[in-house]
Amino acid sequence: MSVTKRFWLLVVWGFSCVTATNAQKTSAIWLDDLPIKSFSEGIPAVLPKTTAAGDSIVMRGQYFNRGVGVNATSILAFFLDGKATEITATVGVDDKGIKELPHTFYVIGDRKILFDSGEMRLGDVPKNVTVKLNGIKRLGLLVKVDDAGRTKLYSNWANARLVMLAGHRPENIPNSDEKYILTPAPAPSPRINSAAVFGARPGNPFLYTIAATGERPMRFSAKGLPTGLLLDEKTGIITGKVSLPGTYPVTIRAKNAHGEATKLLKIKIGDTIALTPPIGWNGWNSWARNIDQEKVVASADAMVKMGLSQHGWTYINIDDAWQGKRGGKFNAIQPNEKFPKFREMVDYIHGLGLKVGVYSTPMITSYAGYIGGSSDLENGDFPDSIQANKRAFRYVGKYRFETQDARQLAAWGIDYLKYDWRIDVPSAERMSAALKQSGRDIFYSISNSAPFANVNDWVRLTNSYRTGPDIRDSWNSLYVSAFTLDKWAPYGGPGHWNDPDMMILGNVTTGTQLHPTRLTPDEQYSHVSLFSLLAAPLLIGCPIEQLDAFTLNLLTNDEVIEIDQDPLGKSARLVLTENGVQIWLKPLEDGSFAVGLFNVGDFGKTPESYFRWGDETAKPYTFDLAKAGLKGNYRLRDVWRQKDLGVFERTFKTEIRHHGVVLLRLFPYTPKSVTTARP
């Protein structure tokens, strides 16, 4: 063979090898083969290979075997790190969607809109999408719908797939920002942190724990306790019963080797309980259906061991999946086999100075498929025929058992009831009456998405009511759940609290397996701050024993908790929005104000704003006190840092991190001489 021929053969062979190598460099990945729920930062369901309702994907009569079905405004975020080359899909409104509402599909890469479908409605021809992704690090798939709270807004990313370099797959958006700790550790001397007001009904069992930080051992005392109450000086637990209605001022005291602390506690015996929002733990976002007695006891022990109980954290609430069948003295719901010693468990938790809650529903079956508070069978049986088709029995049955169930809860010593799933006013009213007649003060919380149109009924009947859908651990969900609650604010107050759902901190199971919250550290500070400003229930949904130092620090700032537990019980109002900053103002009982300055950016105003791109920066901001309705001079305190900032008039300059907060407490200041500090 000649040298020339050998040369050209080598060239052809080399070209073939390069071509083959290039062909092997990419692979197609179907989005429906990914754990797609983990990529969703929206609120409604996202499902692979079906619509969001679990039906076949059908658009304009055409069936699709592959794809991702979404509902309402949907946010899917992927970290590609420059390892993808293309995305293809066919997009449109599902044939089971709502006709009149337009959906707009976007493909966004590194802040640039790469595809915009324009408005699409049910019946429109689906559109094919092919977008090159070379070099793109972060990818966002957005479906924008002005849903106004409506559901069944089904749309689809049919046949959606990514082409990526071989050996690479899309990952979740990194959440590796520094978990910076702002709050100093508690002093060794005592500080009393429990609520300054407590309500109970005449003749009902009374349980109040003096929560105090400081070095142990510690001794507790109380002056002015009404007749019928006793204080355990070692534990600070006050128990008993008070027969006579009235307001009783009590001075409580905690003392250790470093000093002592006192606090005025107002005990109000009357018709109204829940004079401050509940603060504690709920098991659903920790363990969902896998909850059992061992996990509940471990959570109670951890609440004490981790020190949360010293900061006022009180409730240990068992969510869905504890229920067995009807029986016992009252023919009431009994615990299932996962809770073999239910009453003993309740007594043990009470012995720790904590309270216990459970879950139920007025429907035949609960969300998780367990027995509910009604039945189509007169004796309330729960036969295999119902258990085999649980979803078909999500309605209120002919026969209802509110009275029996409430009496059983009281007999066990239950302190809290979460009553769940599309509550109607008659169901809420029946259980409200049953609880009041049970002989025990049981905090009454209704869930899920109590309609605003009935808010006066919720105020009249319940102690808290869910103001929106189930929360997810994303900024979008937090924003929808909390930053839109201004219209609810006038209705919340002592005895009846606006409830934006559980807190999404620590390790959570909101739709996927247990994982660290996807909120950034800045967003977590905003989360705790706003819930406290709103006087919302503070119910963490993470395994307490798994708390890291950052999350524990978030949950144990007593000045933040004090804002939530303020006896005046007023919710903050949104008083100003400017330059991407929201200002929420809350009046407090002592005449001071709590103010949250939140950098929400332009969230929701542009397609790009729904995603986190990794290049966000802090915003300098000048807080004009007069614009917030605050006139005169104020002494400002940084609540998270527990640090006085000085006296200011007119303006206060600061910097707010992206999706972060500056939480202030403002005390009116009248100087003897004009010595105001200016920024």
Residues annotated catalytic, as ranges: 420, 470
261 pairs with which residues across the strands? 254
H/E stretch holding 425 reads helix 425-436
Do residues 635 and 667 lie in contact, with contact meaning Cβ atoms separated by under 8 Å? yes
Residue 292, phi then psi, degrees to nearest 5: -155, 175
Q: Compute the distance between CA of residue 397 and CA of residue 473 in angstroms, rounded to an integer.
A: 34
Q: Compute the distance between CA of residue 432 and CA of residue 274 in angstroms, rounded to an integer.
A: 14
Do residues 517 and 505 lie in contact, with contact meaning Cβ atoms separated by under 8 Å? yes
Q: What is the DSSP letter of 7?
A: H
Q: Which residues of 423-438 are buried (b: 16+ CB within 10 A; e: fewer)?
A: beeebbebbbebbbeb
Q: Compute the distance between CA of residue 549 and CA of residue 364 in angstroms, rounded to an integer.
A: 42
Q: Compute the distance between CA of residue 526 and CA of residue 584 in angstroms, rounded to an integer.
A: 12
In one letter, which amino acid is 465? Y
Q: Compute the distance between CA of residue 625 and CA of residue 333 in angstroms, rounded to an integer.
A: 54
Residue 178 has which token pair? 């520094």
Quickly list DSSP for 11-29.
HHHHHHHHHHHHHHTEEEE
Q: Compute the distance between CA of residue 478 and CA of residue 270 in angstroms, rounded to an integer.
A: 36
Torsion of CA 264, 270, 276, 280, to 10 degrees: 100
Residue 147 has which token pair? 């849903």
Q: Which residues of 498-512 are buried (b: 16+ CB within 10 A; e: fewer)?
A: bbbbbbbbbbbbbbb
Instruction: Choose among 199, 207, 265: nearest CA to 232.
Output: 207
Torsion of CA 132, 135, 140, 142, to 10 degrees: -20
Instruction: Choose among 482, 476, 472, 477: nearest CA to 574.
Output: 482
Q: How many CA atoms lie within 13 A of 183 on its CB side?
A: 20
Q: What is the DSSP letter of 659?
A: T
Residue whose token pair is 């990526």: 164
Q: Compute the distance between CA of residue 468 and CA of residue 483 in angstroms, rounded to an integer.
A: 11
- Three-state SS letters, 236-299: CEEEECCCCCEEEEEEEEEEECCEEEEEEEEEEECCCCCCCCCEEEECHHHHHHHCCHHHHHHH
How far CA 6 is from CA of 3, 16, 20, 616, in Å, comes to 5, 15, 21, 58
Q: What is the DSSP letter of 186?
A: P
